[in-house]
Structure 1
Amino acid sequence: MAPTSLPLNLNFKITATATKLPELPENIRNSRVLVLGGTGRVGGSTATALSNLCPDLRIVVAGRNREKGEALVAKLGGNSGFARVDIDDINSLETALKGVDLVVHAAGPFQQAEKCSVLEAAINTKTAYIDVCDDTTYACRAKSLMSRALAANVPAITTAGIYPGVSSVMAAELVRAAESESEDKPERLRFYYYTAGTGGAGPTILATSFLLLGEEVVAYNKGEKIKLKPYSGMLNVDFGKGIGRRNVYLLNLPEVRSAHEILGVPTVSARFGTSPFFWNWGMEAMTKLLPSEYLRDRSKVQRLVELFDPVVRATDGFAGERVSMRVDLERSSGRNTVGIFSHKSLSVSVGISTAAFALAVLEGSTQPGVWFPEETQGLPIEAREVLLNRASQGTINFAMNRSPWMIETNPKELGLGIYV
């Protein structure tokens, strides 16, 4: 299936109500999609978003908790069903993948996973694949299966969630816009992320955050790979309307490496922050008080999650679950451009974002192989605007290729620091 050719507007701005989404062809509307981790917050949100975007899709919610799965299926309607699947059991996986057009792997956390069993099963059964991986090691391991995916004629996209995922596509568009303007060259790309509390995404994102604290941060400075301490290098960043200024800290995220290598930007880094403010203090303290070996141990981190989860749930009740992504590109001409994406709910927007990638793959946009979202073989240039239109539904603020002052609440305050 060939993607629809669309003229891409480098300065498009999308609002929740103004955008009419393209109608899906009938053969895609009848596709069968398996959502692994469908009983969790991210997978459940993805299944719901897929059903809303395309009610005719046959969605299979897969997980270990039948009660939760069947409760979600009841809400999704007659085209959905539940399957009990153990992602650590290759036979269970391959049985579940029979007759499936696309598998969405949302059964995190991905940190410290020893193998890409779902992707391997997808390749073995010739099933299209996406995942919401946010771990550098896992993403690189997925890419190592490129030759097998090519031989099996299987299209796959790794890191295809909200961040990384939609943020990676935003970065690719900022770079493309810069390169289209005479000899202007991208020089520095910075990803800034903010989520209130856990964003309603629950224990999985808490475990992910703790595991990331055990990883040395990889960034790039003028083409040189450098390593930094996790949750260091704090910056106070203006996320604009609905979010305001927030403190963000360095984390080891896969889009840093993929943006550097694929988009060719010499200086790249990623930062994340949360609220209330004391959670940032707590995260920073953990990196100083706990050995990195402890924070890389999934069983020990799981015990930490169980300890903190009641407090986090209580805090989430008043913190809310807003999410914002700001992607900044500095150019050789001295001009800076920004992409901004803010939503009132991470648990909703991560599902919509993942569903947008799922539909792009179903539409035939993705070539056989394992790709990052920035790669045109994974998501062609002409498919990016459609994906961003879908992903930005319900946002409180979304804009691309703007000057920083156009999106900031107080443009006179620079405060972006001198860090990578």
Structure 2
Amino acid sequence: MTAKVLVIGGCGRIGNMVARDIVTHTNATVIVTSRSHQTVKPPFELQILDIADTEKLTEAIASVDLVVHCAGPFRHRDGKVLKIAIDRGVNYLDVSDRSSFYRQVITEHERAKERGVTAILNTGIFPGISNSMVRQGVEQFEQPQKIHLSYIVAGSGGAGLTVMRTTFLGLKEKFKALINGEWRETLPYTEREVIEFPPPHGKAGVYWFEMPETYTFADSFPVDTVITKFGSVPDLYNHLTWITAHIFPSPWVESPKGVEFFSRVSYLMTAVSDKLSGIGVAMRAEITGIEGGKTKTHCLTMVHDNTAIAAGIGTGTVAELVLSGRLKQPGVYPVEQALPTDLFIEAMNSRNVAIDIV
């Protein structure tokens, strides 16, 4: 029988790219959801669904083989979709990008394990492909010590307003980062570094940014330092974001109206600059550790000319593996704990995504 996949938020920019990757690389029937009527072309099927409606959400999840949660921002999600999937014995993926969401839903691990449900969090691009790049790098060492993960996005990245909102949500909130074995309080958009990314990007500025990897890597790997930094191209957007984070009064930035205002202004600006900067993504994972009795560093890089498509690839590859039965690991896991490196490399090669390692 043909497998059925429910992509919640599948009419959004990222959700649509996830759905497209799944129909391209599997024989599954893909159902995309929206809170209101949308024009959806075959081969997708549309289901009107508001995830606040628990009864209809439960019915929708119970009728499929895999649910993929793409309805962000995940700062506002409570884990209900995952809990229902576990109740109904349905495998689950998401594109969650908030550490608070991770800490909330990881508590469902034992229940998912008992129900035989494979639930994989943080698939996508960053987090997602970035996590698997780090795992590949960590595996080069006898004793990994430090992870330094940086990513840049050109313009809008081909994403929609939801991703813009995610950037501004929590921009004023301190978070803890693992530095030299101690959890240190850190502010977003501080400690600028200039990192050399692969062509066509070259040198670009990145800043501390709270991502799930800040916490999941500390759980996944025996390291004492995890650095996660993010930046934009052109550099003007970095400076504007820095001003938003450090100059504007907190009530302006933290209120729902403030987040919406900054998100929409940014979106309008990138609509113009995208024509010059492109909408690509570049990632650089630098892993330091002990290899052959000596301290060494390995650097892995990845570039794609469309950030949204890359996010779809990150989630679509995991969906393909779960649907085929090649990836079956009951429980709730961040993607770097669930996806073996050999399968990750195979999946990237099948989509012509190059992960270069130095």
Match of 1:366 in 2: 328
Q: What's the secondary structure of 2:74's corresponding residue?
A: coil
Q: Deviations over 1:127-148 (max 9, x none)?
A: 1001001100001111011122
Match of 2:72 among 89, 108, 114: 108
Match of 1:200 in 2: 158
Moved more, 150-159 or 295-304: 295-304
Q: What's the secondary structure of 1:200's corresponding residue?
A: coil
Moved more, 186-195 or 326-335: 326-335
Q: Deviations over 1:26-46 (max 9, x none)?
A: x6xx21111111111000011
Matching residue's letter, 1:351: G
Do residues 95 (structure 1) and 66 (structure 2) align? no
Moved more, 299-308 or 146-155: 299-308
Match of 1:130 in 2: 93
Q: What's the secondary structure of 1:374's corresponding residue?
A: helix
Moved more, 338-347 or 218-227: 218-227
Please give the TM-score of this superposition, normalised by the length of structure 2.
0.93
Q: What's the secondary structure of 1:287's corresponding residue?
A: helix
Work out whether residues 39 and 65 of structure 1, in 8 Å CA contact, stay in contact via their aligned partners in 2.
no
**Structure 1 residues 7-406: aligned runs within 5 Å:** 30-54=2-26, 56-68=27-39, 70=40, 74=41, 76-77=42-43, 80-111=44-75, 113-179=76-142, 185-292=143-250, 295-332=253-290, 333-364=294-325, 365-375=327-337, 378-390=338-350, 393-395=351-353, 397-400=354-357, 402=358
1: CA distance, partners of 2:129 / 2:264: 30
2: CA distance, partners of 1:325 / 1:137: 23
1: CA distance, partners of 2:25 / 2:341: 22
Q: Deviations over 1:308-330 (max 9, x none)?
A: 43223222232210101110001
Work out whether residues 130 and 160 of structure 1, in 8 Å CA contact, stay in contact via their aligned partners in 2.
yes
Work out whether residues 152 and 283 of structure 2, in 8 Å CA contact, stay in contact via their aligned partners in 1.
yes
User: Percent identity, aligned pairs only?
Assistant: 29
Q: What's the secondary structure of 2:141's corresponding residue?
A: helix
Matching residue's letter, 2:297: N
Displacement after TM superposition at 1:291 (Å): 4.4
Q: Deviations over 1:307-366 (max 9, x none)?
A: 443223222232210101110001232311011110011121111111011112223313
2: CA distance, partners of 1:217 / 1:226: 8
2: CA distance, partners of 1:382 / 1:344: 24
Work out whether residues 189 and 208 of structure 2, in 8 Å CA contact, stay in contact via their aligned partners in 1.
yes
Displacement after TM superposition at 1:98 (Å): 2.5
Aligned length: 354
Quote the RMSD (CA, aligned, Å): 1.8
Q: Deviations over 1:106-135 (max 9, x none)?
A: 111112x25112111211221100100110
Work out whether residues 50 and 355 of structure 1, in 8 Å CA contact, stay in contact via their aligned partners in 2.
yes
Q: What's the secondary structure of 1:309's corresponding residue?
A: helix
Work out whether residues 102 and 127 of structure 1, in 8 Å CA contact, stay in contact via their aligned partners in 2.
yes
Q: Deviations over 1:166-188 (max 9, x none)?
A: 11111111111212xxxxx2121
Work out whether residues 61 and 88 of structure 2, in 8 Å CA contact, stay in contact via their aligned partners in 1.
yes
Q: What's the secondary structure of 1:129's corresponding residue?
A: strand
Please give the TM-score of this superposition, normalised by the length of structure 1.
0.80
Work out whether residues 215 and 296 of structure 1, in 8 Å CA contact, stay in contact via their aligned partners in 2.
no
Moved more, 212-221 or 238-247: 212-221
2: CA distance, partners of 1:44 / 1:381: 26
Q: Deviations over 1:169-212 (max 9, x none)?
A: 11111111212xxxxx2121111001001201021111011014
Q: What's the secondary structure of 2:51's corresponding residue?
A: coil
- Relative distance call for 1:261 and 1:31 in structure 2 (3 A) is same
Work out whether residues 204 and 235 of structure 2, in 8 Å CA contact, stay in contact via their aligned partners in 1.
no
- Relative distance call for 1:292 and 1:178 in structure 2 (3 A) is farther
1: CA distance, partners of 2:133 / 2:341: 11
Matching residue's letter, 1:368: P
2: CA distance, partners of 1:297 / 1:147: 36
Displacement after TM superposition at 1:237 (Å): 0.6
2: CA distance, partners of 1:363 / 1:294: 48
Work out whether residues 366 and 380 of structure 1, in 8 Å CA contact, stay in contact via their aligned partners in 2.
no
**Structure 2: tracts of 5 or more residues without a match:** none
Match of 1:20 in 2: none
Displacement after TM superposition at 1:293 (Å): 5.9
Work out whether residues 142 and 158 of structure 1, in 8 Å CA contact, stay in contact via their aligned partners in 2.
no
Moved more, 329-338 or 296-305: 296-305
Work out whether residues 132 and 341 of structure 2, in 8 Å CA contact, stay in contact via their aligned partners in 1.
no
> Which of the two has greater strand per residue?
2
